[in-house]
Structure 1
Amino acid sequence: MTAKSTGMTVEQLDALCARWPGVVRSIKWEVDLVQSVANKMFVVLCTLGAERGRLSFRVDTERFLELSEQPGMGPAPYMARAFWISETEPERFTHEELAGFVRRSYELVRGNLPKKTQAALAQ
């Protein structure tokens, strides 16, 4: 039996998000890798310092309380009001679980874009 990989590396996040329409990668605040669609962030990965490896992402409004109270997760600093969660213990989550959260975050952010922008991304 093989152990499942946990957490998500910069390389894994880049490979995952690069497949989706309109995604742009950038570094913000000198330490955070940000993936955005139409200039709207959908995932942040801290790359340096004490928070290194911490992944933050948007979640469905109705799941925010459930997920923020789950062991290994909590409201994202500065972004909780926008229903963002931060995983605080990457080793608790498989790569596949985190990839699902990141994909859902992308869908939520993309779904809130103007219809014209969404249509342009589909081409």
Structure 2
Amino acid sequence: MMALSRAEFDAACAALPATTHVEQWGGASVWKVGGKIFAICSSWGEGADDAIAFKCSDLTYRILTELPGVVPAPYLARASWVQVRAGAELDAEDIRAHLVEAHRLVAAKLTRALRRELGLE
């Protein structure tokens, strides 16, 4: 079982400023800031547990991928994304903190004008 349910994941992402939510890729819960994805919750196959993927710094990526249950995110690892699977050694508070940081990292890459428009400056 995941430390954070999909509903808790969605609530944590919704609480962050200027976020938008879409369901795509077979029902994945995809969260964006300024049109750029910062976190995804999805299941990988019929009956599979949800997994949470998010953007992180290069250092955090190296640290997290050493933990059991945390792997390079499929298709996104080259951009320093990790995927946290059921049974990972991260609790709900840790995952929430990483979601906040993922949002910050992605928002920081937006143009200054867009950050201002979104109320992020």
Q: Which TM-score tier does this pair reach, normalised by the shorter chain?
A: 0.7 to 0.9
Q: What residue number does 1:64 align with?
A: 61
Q: What residue number does 1:22 align with?
A: 18
Give RMSD over aligned pairs: 2.0
Which of the residues 33, 38, 42 maps onto 1:37?
A: 33
* Structure 1 runs not aligned, ≥5 long: 1-5
TM-score by length of 2: 0.87
1:12 aligns with 2:8: yes
Which of the residues 68, 71, 74 maps onto 2:71?
A: 74
Q: How many Å apart are 1:53 and its aligned residue?
A: 1.4
- Secondary structure of the residue that 1:122 maps to in structure 2? coil
In 2, Cα distance between equivalents of 1:30 and 1:93: 26
* Structure 2 runs not aligned, ≥5 long: none
Q: How many Å apart are 1:50 and its aligned residue?
A: 5.0
- Percent identical residues: 24
1:111 aligns with 2:108: yes
1:86 aligns with 2:83: yes
Q: How many Å apart are 1:120 and its aligned residue?
A: 1.4
In 2, Cα distance between equivalents of 1:90 and 1:113: 34
Tell whether the 8 Å contact from 1:45 to 1:54 is kept in structure 2 after alignment: yes
TM-score by length of 1: 0.85
Tell whether the 8 Å contact from 2:16 to 2:100 is kept in structure 1 after alignment: no
Residue type of the partner of 1:43? A
